[in-house]
Chains A and B, each alone.
Chain A
Amino acid sequence: MSALSIRVVKKSYGDLVALDGVSLEVEQGEFFGLLGPNGAGKTTLISCMAGLCTPDSGSIEVMGHDVQKDFRMARRQLGVVPQELVFDPFFTVRETLTFQSGYFGLNKNDDWIDEIMANLDLTNKANANMRSLSGGMKRRVLVAQALVHRPPVIILDEPTAGVDVELRQSLWQFISRLNQAGHTIVLTTHYLEEAESLCGRIAMLKQGRVVALDTTQNLLAKHRPPGMPPKILGDDGAADLEAVFVKIMAESK
């Protein structure tokens, strides 16, 4: 059983085709990258996986559960870190996480909530109101909210956009540990060096279509742009992901 099974998903908003028949399989335990320029359809695809939008056609399963027909079990298996920095200004960090856990029916979850807060360096902000937190701290709470129900599949939609180096490092350490513990991670990011170092496999989207899908190693090896200046070459002699990304996007119509 795949962690994520996306079959010929199409989604349009009026005349705008956001997803044009996307198909992907993400296996359990993978660290999977979903890359593409702005407007490629990454967030729409994530929204469809999370049940925030309904595909016009096609189907999506999370751990074997259809996100439309069996939405409760599908959502129970999925943790999503949204791209936007959103929060509820009425509550403290601990209240936010306790309520979020409760929405999943987990009412005695304090030990795990404490553990997440410790891992994300939020413990000393547990009783701080969400309004008083810095942007980086709010981002950590967003990650924590996605993890309160210990989902086997975790989707991070540009989780490091606009955050400092320290948070990025601590976040990736924690996410890597979750991946090592067997959690499937799907990451979208515009920081391609992060995708290159973390993701075992990568799909590239352009205008709602998958234009590349392979292991990170193969993508780097196969798509080395000829005559690229040495400064963008990786240590192993393969082109770095940014050059590969630019090349694939330029070649795909």
Chain B
Amino acid sequence: MEQVKPLVPVNALPKATIQSGFPALFRKEVRRFSSVAFQTVAAPILTAVLYLLIFGHVLASSPKIYGYEYAAFLIPGLVMMSILQNAFANTSSSLIQSKITGNLVFVLLAPLSHIEFFAAYVGAAMIRGLSVGLGVFMVTIWFAKIPFAAPIWIFVFALLGSALLGSMGLIAGIWADKYDQLAASQNFVIMPATMLSGVFYSIHSLPAFWLTVSHFNPFFYMIDGFRYGFFGDSDVSPYHSLLVLLLCMFLVSTLALRMLKKGYKLRH
């Protein structure tokens, strides 16, 4: 054992103060996914590119949408779908892993408020979602000419969409006791809702019934609003989409914060 210094007496230690633990928890969550970036960032980019190659090829002769070829229409949808799915995956997988392995105790023992906890997990989910989205965009942009009609909407919907799905992932991660419960929420809720939100088509091409159903899917508004930022055209007004997104964000973040404050399934 190395030579050790005498310990400072307790009464000579600086008075304990409360400083935010948010930056450390946020850094830890970012480091968690970035240390396995091949799996958490590169793999979803490849998946999105495969979608583009397959659907872009099969539907290449489709009529133009908003005056652009199908691949150009598809790319923003794929980017947003990747952002949403990966933001959800980050919080939910981190929490379920920490719960099942038991290392969440280190976070629960710390003097972190429920707001710091929420902000750190959702913030890191946003970073992952946006990283994957940017990666998908950088790779797919070479396949079609894409306009940037109203870029501010791109940022607004990317940020809010990733925050919303990060919050939803937080709820799923807290709620799920087992990996298969989490997989069920991912495969039976998030995946269908994103795939059927107009990523691959304009909802105006749907029969009347499914057109109506699509308006009850909040993911549709995220994709549609995001796409408006590129084309300056969308199925519904971006203000309408923004309102739906803000309402969803309010409801989901309120629920997530309440769960964290109460310690639901975290503190017994």
Chain A residues with CB under 8 Å of chain B are 13, 28-29, 47, 50-54, 71-78, 80, 82, 84, 86-91, 95, 98-107, 115, 118-119, 121, 123, 145, 149-150, 152, 170, 177-178, 180-183
Contact = CB atoms under 8 A, between A and B. Distances in A.
B103 A52 contact: no
Contacts of A183: 10
Given A77-B16, A106-B19, 8 more contacts: A47-B268, A51-B108, A54-B263, A84-B102, A86-B105, A88-B103, A105-B111, A107-B23
B67 interface: no
Interface in B14-37: 16-21, 23-25, 27-28, 31-32, 35-36
Interface string B1-20: 11111011111010011111
Given A47-B268, A84-B102, A90-B35, A152 B28 contact: no
A109 to B, nearest CB: 10
Contacts of B213: none
A235 B107 CA distance: 45
A82 B10 CA distance: 22
Contact of B18 (A29, A76, A84, A87): A76
A102 B4 contact: no
Task: Sort A-B residue pairs by CB-CB distance and give the 7 closest, nearest first.
Answer: A102-B24, A105-B19, A182-B10, A103-B110, A86-B102, A72-B111, A103-B21
A70 B36 CA distance: 38
Contacts of B20: 105
Of B13, B18, B105, most buried by chain A (CB within 10 Å of CB) is: B105
B189 interface: no
B188 interface: no
B23 A170 contact: no
A103 B16 contact: no
> Chain B, interface size: which category?
35 or more
A73 B15 CA distance: 11
B27 A89 contact: no
Given A77-B16, A183-B10, A107 B31 contact: no
B58 interface: no
Contacts of B5: 115
B267 A51 contact: yes
Contact of A86 (B1, B18, B103): B103
Contacts of A87: 101, 103
B13 A102 contact: no
Contacts of B105: 52, 82, 84, 86
B8 A103 contact: no
Of B5, B18, B102, B110, most buried by chain A (CB within 10 Å of CB) is: B110
Contacts of B7: 177-178, 180-181
B13 to A, nearest CB: 6
A76 B10 CA distance: 14
